[in-house]
Amino acid sequence: MHPDSGVSAEELHPMESEMAMLKARVDRLEQQVRTLAEATAVLARGLESGPLEEAGAAHSAQAARLAHELLLAADLVRPQRDRG
């Protein structure tokens, strides 16, 4: 506490709150990048076919759904509205 004003030391330094805000933004961006990387990896695995796997679209479609769910959960895409 500042003895004259009763204000804490943190409140005397406006840069502290700005730094905290910027740190929160960077943390959010880092999480979004991790989510995008995970979704990309899921899609890549879905497009790969191993030697023992059958060729087909089911594996790719499942990977695409999972990647989309990851992006939705991270609030990186908006849900698609039914068009029917």
Model pTM score: 0.67
First to last CA, the chain: 62
Instruction: Give residue 60's pLDDT.
Output: 85
Instruction: Give residue 17's pLDDT.
Output: 87
Burial degree of 67 (CB within 10 A; 0-12, 13-18, 19+): buried
Q: Into how many domains does the chain fold?
A: 1
> 75 Cβ partners below 8 Å, 6+ apart?
none
Are 43 and 64 within 8 A, CB to CB? yes
Instruction: Give residue 84's pLDDT.
Output: 46
Instruction: Provide the residue-wise pLDDT of the chain in tens; the chain has 84 residues.
Output: 445 556 565 566 788 889 999 999 999 999 999 999 999 999 998 888 666 666 567 888 889 999 999 999 999 999 887 544
Sign of the torsion formed by the C-alpha atoms of 53, 55, 56 and 62: positive
Residue-number span of the structural domain to which 35 is assigned: 9-73
The answer to whether residue 19 sits within a structural domain is yes
The answer to whether residue 56 sits within a structural domain is yes
Instruction: Give residue 73's pLDDT.
Output: 93
